[in-house]
Amino acid sequence: MKNLIRGHIYQLKKDNFFFGCLAFSLAFLFMSIRFLSPGPETGVVPGTESLFSTFMGGDIVLYAFMLLTTNMIAEAYRSGVMKNIIGRGIPKEQYYLSIVFVISAAYLLEMLISSIVMGGIASSRFGMGTVLYPGYYALSAAARILFVMAYISFAVTMAIFTRNAITGVILGLVIPNIPQIVEMVLSFLKIHISLDFLKISTYMPSVYEASNDLSSFLPCFIVLCGYFVVSVFIGFRLLRRQDVK
């Protein structure tokens, strides 16, 4: 597993697509700084609040990293790397998880750096502020990490299924949002059914809603873990049944 992780890290260092994602993230950071706006209630954005809100956001950057993921896997199939990995007896499950961990860590590290930068800029303008609800912020960060791993996992699974970068990332984005899509289709047919209990967006925490009430995190973690486990299970099954030539 360690060797696979080292290999993926080395691959990222040589991948121009990865540096393109970093450049895109930097551009997104500059835009965020440019349009740094006051909070909805306080009229200012203290440093700590800006730091956490930046870390909890960045979905557009996440989509770019999902495309990076599917492109890496598609290239592994095209170049014969996948065949060599399987031929050397490396467990397919370890290969799957190593990609999820490396790309998730790369994205989270990039967002952490962006968060620190945004927090520092906001602190210079409005002060550092205080963390009134440390438990809420800590669990929010954990939920965000699990959210990222779930989406990267879907990108890996769909890339393995399609062996194509574009199709893989599209399906990787569509599948976690199936409840919303089903609701839209049913509403078009004038059938009104709420599937909020299956939507990730229903449970994801917001910095602006921080409080001492942590009860909402239990269903949040259950849903996120459910999506992640389903994606990993399907990915493992696909890898085991594939005949890579």
pLDDT tens, residue by residue, 112-127: 998 888 888 877 777 7
Q: What pTM was computed for the model?
A: 0.90
pLDDT tens, residue by residue, 130-168: 778 889 999 999 999 999 999 999 999 999 999 999 999
Q: Are 39 and 206 in contact (CB under 8 A)?
A: no
Burial (Cβ within 10 Å: 0-12, 13-18, ≥19) of residue 182: middle
Q: How far is CA 240 from CA 23, 92, 145, 215, 235, in A?
A: 36, 7, 27, 39, 9
In three-state secondary structure terms, 243 is coil
